[in-house]
Chain A
Amino acid sequence: MRKCSLNSLQSVFGKIASSALLYLPVDSADGRAVFSKWDDGTPLSNALNTVRSPKDFFFPQTEDLMRFKTEGKSIEVIDVREETEDFVVFGVRACDVKSFDILDRVFLAEPRDSYYASRRDHGVIVSLACTRPSETCFCSTFGIDAASPAGDVSCWKTESEMFWQANTEKGEALIKKIEELTEECSDEAVKEQQEKTARIMKKLPLAGLNTDAFGGGKTEELFDRPEWTELSEACLGCGTCTFVCPTCQCYDIKDFNTGNGVIRYRCWDSCMYSEFTKMAHGNNRLSQKERFRQRFMHKLVYYPENNDGLFSCVGCGRCLSKCPISMNIAKVMKKLGGE
């Protein structure tokens, strides 16, 4: 483990940014934390987490997939893919780091999604341990330790110092780069912080939330439960939950005619939207209840069934704070789990 003083953090960031684009959570003018590109002096936000998840770095909200040129009856396909520039994302919380495992199992499964894979190859994740988890946090429900975040490099921030620990080859390379600005140290201060955070985690309102009622093979048990009606009744179908969710990855592919060729692009979509499954000859999910159920069944049953029991939720709590009608996965789990 290595450390640097917080006073020298900007120099460390400068060193990292000398060979890769560096992004970190920054407070915006309206007080929200957003991942932004680091420039000399850009201060790290103290917020618990960013409003939007870091999935944008690998799976952006919109991206061009290819272009077409058409002339008469002929078509030319233009590959617009470029190799991603090396980049580092600093300050990713434990929950969001876990979300990359969940996205990887979708996008890196054969046939690999080359757009996503290129960004994963060129991105280095530097996580930052939580010290002040909030009442919307429930990462521990999914076996995530907020005080021991994964990633290529894990960091812990104390009153006066930043501690750095490499976990992967990419992480080792990054630590090597900042070697002169950091010093070898013991992990005592980190352990102390971890114990303190663990005590807070146990006192959080959602600390008791568990996944016992969910997992692969539970479709029959859960699909026709009468509670879905009540749970989904007020859902507006706005899709905010899916947009802020670090693990939601459903997408749409659309064509845009620029007047000078066609761009085929991909953008985030939501299973909460009425047109998501609409076909020329019908729609297999006509009601909001069916769409609502699909989102939660996918995260809590279908995804784990296909992915060795891994749930497609990391307990980041974004949907808890952003849903306009205050419905969320924690309430769904409590209701269906029999609490």
Chain B
Amino acid sequence: MTTSSMPVLDIHALNVYYGESHILRNVDLSVQPGQMVCLIGRNGVGKTTLLKTIIGLLQQRSGSVRFEAKELEDLAPHQRARSGIAYVPQGREIIPQLSVKENLLLGLEALPGGLRRHRHIDPQVFELFPVLEGFLQRRGGDLSGGQQQQLAIARALLGKPKLLLLDEPTEGIQPSVVLDIERAVKRIVATTGISVLLVEQHLHFVRQADWYYAMQKGGMVASGPTAELSKDVVDRFLSV
């Protein structure tokens, strides 16, 4: 195997528990460099749990999570963020009382040296999300859901991650903004070469990905190129 084809993220036989309940069962998943991978499955099958385990909010019981061939198990979330994983959680989690600008600045914390060394917000994020530029002085909590989602993605991008974890970026957002977000994510993958692991319910968005994994009851049950995503699979795993 050459270095170029070495996966960015490689998960093997992963088991995760919430207390005593077994959530993820022997999960295998890998994301290649520059690839956009979509994780599908009905509510409660463990998609969010998987993302939380990758960023380090949940601890694995067994198995391995490797990022650029390095085992992540003993790293805290902030160390994983600094090594190049960015996380946009379900519900966005903008810091509500901080201004939009300060929220964006927090994205720079993932760069080496953090905020001490970097105070410059790359104007490229305003090309992706023009709406943010006019709101820099507003409080993050005052933005609408769609604007918060764009802010959360912009914040994640400012840390120049190698892997972007997106958890249902279009959930509860008005259709016109959904298309904006979809376009932006597509453009990010095309122009920056960032790998994306996406959890999504919108079929249209799912089809933008290169590869899909389908989950059921905490385990992987199907995977393949999204081009081959059959109607049968869609009906079984997407709650449309």
| Same assembly | no
